[in-house]
Structure 1
Amino acid sequence: MKKKPPTIRDVAAAAGVSTATVSKYINGAQRFSPAVEATIRGVIEELGYCSNPLAQSMITGRTKTIGLSVLDVSNPHFSSIIKGANRVALENGYTLLLVDTDETASRERPLLEALSRRVDGMLVYSRMAERELEWLVKLGKPLVFFGAQSQINLLSVGGDDRQGAYMLAQYLVMMGHKRVAYMGFSKSRRDEERRDGIRACLAAHQLPLLSYDSSAPTALEGERMSSSIMLGEQVPDAIVCYNDMMALGFIKEVQSLGFRVPEDISVAGFDNIQYGRYTSPPLTTVDLRSEQMGVIGMNKLLAAIAGDTSTDHTMLEPQLILRSSVMRRQPPID
């Protein structure tokens, strides 16, 4: 006959303690003398006892699971956030449960409501307007939001998009660019900050901003928009894309059209995804520290689960990553 797995009662009997003592030791709910803990630990190893996660959750009210909602898992920016968050979760004995909303706002609420029933807390990246997120707070779970909130008092973490955009535009001006364009994505709240940063810098130098809006923050959209930008009446000598994915798609297509990057047009993006350094030419970008965003977000959430009631926002400093997709423009010959 197949031998039954050992139970918590077996551990308690062999260690000479109560089942309550074993339970508290396993769940970290109480410390005991070194001798008692050593005895329990030794019996658990000897018997090969494995605690039942479901039973633990019924006792403690904790699932030891964290929910993380991202907009597009295929985008390396979000993959980096997941990597950072997961590393901290594992170090603290938590499992990450991932939801990909696929850049579709209508899917967010049902997915997050279902997720909230299975986790101890949630890290949320959302496209929904801030005024529409009150229901999220009412779910009653500890929350950390990616991106600053002005109307809802939530824990949050994010990069300084406006500052990063201003730095990038300043660099383009220093490199002699006069006709700067921005390929944006207005459905994102971060888009407004990036556009404002670029516009403010150019205005300080009395330069206009050529502005284009995309329907999705993807490489395919960067490809689609490239011909209308490069073959239109106002051809820019530099373009900043909403993210690196769009920039990579743009570079691929304009090169197919016969244009040279950066000789005919300089190209830059945001996020510093890992593939940007391997393109031809390598991509100039703004590093908003995606992986660190995941690390800080998870640490904030674990603190909230433990009872911390603070509701602060952490702003990460951007870093300009200079590569050869941007070149210096020679001054015009009189």
Structure 2
Amino acid sequence: MKKTSSTIRDVAAAAGVSVTTVSKFINHAQRFSPPVEARVQAAIDELGYRSNPLARSMITGETRTIGLAILDILNPHFTSIVKGANRVALQHDYTLLLVDTEESQDHEQVLIEALAQRVDGVIVSSRMPEQSVQWMLELHKPVVLFGRNHHFPIPSVGTDSYLASYMLARHLLNQGHRSIAYVGFGQSRWNNERIRGVQACLAEQGLSASVYDAQAASPQGGERACSSIMLGPNRPDAVICYNDLIALGFIKAARALGFSLPQDVSIAGFDNVPYGEYASPALTTVDLQSEKMGEIAMLKLIDALAGKNDTEYSLLEPRLVVRDSTMRRAGASASEDASAARAIPIRKGTSR
């Protein structure tokens, strides 16, 4: 009959070996002869023994836990990152410990420092400027970042924000749009790159985008920004939003104001969040491969824990996903649109 609370001493007695031998066996700290290992494993199975993670960490110095700091658990982009990271963690016998910094630079450092004390390494999505993260090197734990850091040798992974926004702007130009607005989120490290991509694309046609700030990377931020843009003197015929959440809020507010979408204005975003496909109209977006980003970040951290000193930045390819929230305006030829499809990686109406 199995005991419900067997101890390591019980296993040692049943197997006829020392407690030290059992400890080294279950923590993979030493190999023993096949007969000894067989006896220990048989005793573990018979007694139903389960190792204590805390005791194990005291012996090995490892928690088998990875910390992941994200900016907003309500944003599906970050939940997809968590999903990808967790999948790889489970495959390598690690547990994920999550911290939501709630888009607050004021809270980031305190929360991440506390997280680092409980885990073997940390993966971080941060709003802090690149030059302000030197303290992460002083955590004495492996760190992986989302987004390239040019100032410090920290492994990182991300998507080309410049190319992603250039692709959206090119798509809208090829649909005949000429008055294009960009609704950004100034606190983001990637916002300037997205502005730069949009402006570079429009400049090729002698145009420039009107730039606005949503104040929050959320549907509420998009709603609040909509009226001043759509009811102002320079109403755009297309709007690129910093992310899908802002775009979905913008769509809701524009419809409430009486605009028909996409007939009156085309709307697009970034991230390819799962329910963007089910909005009305379905949202044109750029897939930033969020789950893949989480997977790669976790693999980088596991490599760092294994002693691989690799500070490479892994760059993922953005993919344009065309749906019903953008449409060709009068004067745009089908040949122009076909040319754009050949030049830019486009996924028609697909989800992540």
TM-score by length of 2: 0.91
Cα displacement (A) at 1:31? 3.9
Cα displacement (A) at 1:278? 0.4
2:189 alignment counterpart: 189
How do 1:95-114 and structure 2 match up within 5 A?
A: 95-114=95-114
2:52 counterpart of 1:38: no
2:72 alignment counterpart: 72
Report the Cα distance in structure 2 between the residues aligned to 1:262 and 1:5, rounded to whole angstroms.
64
Cα distance per residue 1:288-326 (max 9 Å; x no partner)? 000111111011111111211111110011111110100
Q: One-letter code of the match for 1:194?
A: R
1:129 alignment counterpart: 129
Please give the secondary structure, in 1, of the residue aligned with 2:54: helix
Please give the secondary structure, in 1, of the residue aligned with 2:248: helix
Cα displacement (A) at 1:17? 3.2
2:320 alignment counterpart: 320
Report the Cα distance in structure 2 between the residues aligned to 1:29 and 1:159, rounded to whole angstroms.
40
Cα distance per residue 1:122-179 (max 9 Å; x no partner)? 0001111122211121111100001000111101011111111111111111111111
1:232 alignment counterpart: 232
Report the Cα distance in structure 2 between the residues aligned to 1:89 and 1:35, rounded to whole angstroms.
32
2:214 alignment counterpart: 214
Cα displacement (A) at 1:37? 3.4
Cα distance per residue 1:246-293 (max 9 Å; x no partner)? 000000010000001100000000000001000001000000000111
2:8 alignment counterpart: 8
1:158 alignment counterpart: 158
Please give the secondary structure, in 2, of the residue aligned with 1:137: helix
Cα displacement (A) at 1:215? 1.1
Cα distance per residue 1:74-131 (max 9 Å; x no partner)? 0000100111111111222211111111111100111111111111100001111122
Report the Cα distance in structure 2 between the residues aligned to 1:330 and 1:45, rounded to whole angstroms.
73
Cα distance per residue 1:169-201 (max 9 Å; x no partner)? 111111111111100111111111111111111
1:260 alignment counterpart: 260
How do 1:37-56 and structure 2 match up within 5 A?
A: 37-56=37-56
Report the Cα distance in structure 2 between the residues aligned to 1:331 and 1:46, rounded to whole angstroms.
78
Change (3 A) 1:33 1:270: farther
Cα displacement (A) at 1:25? 2.4
2:27 alignment counterpart: 27
How do 1:281-296 and structure 2 match up within 5 A?
A: 281-296=281-296
Please give the secondary structure, in 2, of the residue aligned with 1:189: coil
Cα displacement (A) at 1:12? 2.3
Report the Cα distance in structure 2 between the residues aligned to 1:298 and 1:140, rounded to whole angstroms.
18
Report the Cα distance in structure 1 between the residues aligned to 2:284 and 2:237, rounded to whole angstroms.
15
2:346 alignment counterpart: none
Report the Cα distance in structure 2 between the residues aligned to 1:259 and 1:216, rounded to whole angstroms.
23
Report the Cα distance in structure 2 between the residues aligned to 1:65 and 1:193, rounded to whole angstroms.
34
Please give the secondary structure, in 1, of the residue aligned with 2:323: coil
Change (3 A) 1:330 1:4: closer
Unaligned runs of 5+ in 2: 333-352
Change (3 A) 1:4 1:163: closer
Identity of counterpart residues, as a percentage?
57
Q: One-letter code of the match for 2:59?
A: I
Do the aligned partners of 2:214 and 2:246 also contact (CA within 8 Å) in 1?
no
1:115 alignment counterpart: 115
Q: One-letter code of the match for 1:116?
A: A
Report the Cα distance in structure 1 between the residues aligned to 2:33 and 2:274, rounded to whole angstroms.
49
Cα displacement (A) at 1:328? 0.3
Do the aligned partners of 2:4 and 2:48 also contact (CA within 8 Å) in 1?
no
Q: One-letter code of the match for 2:115?
A: L
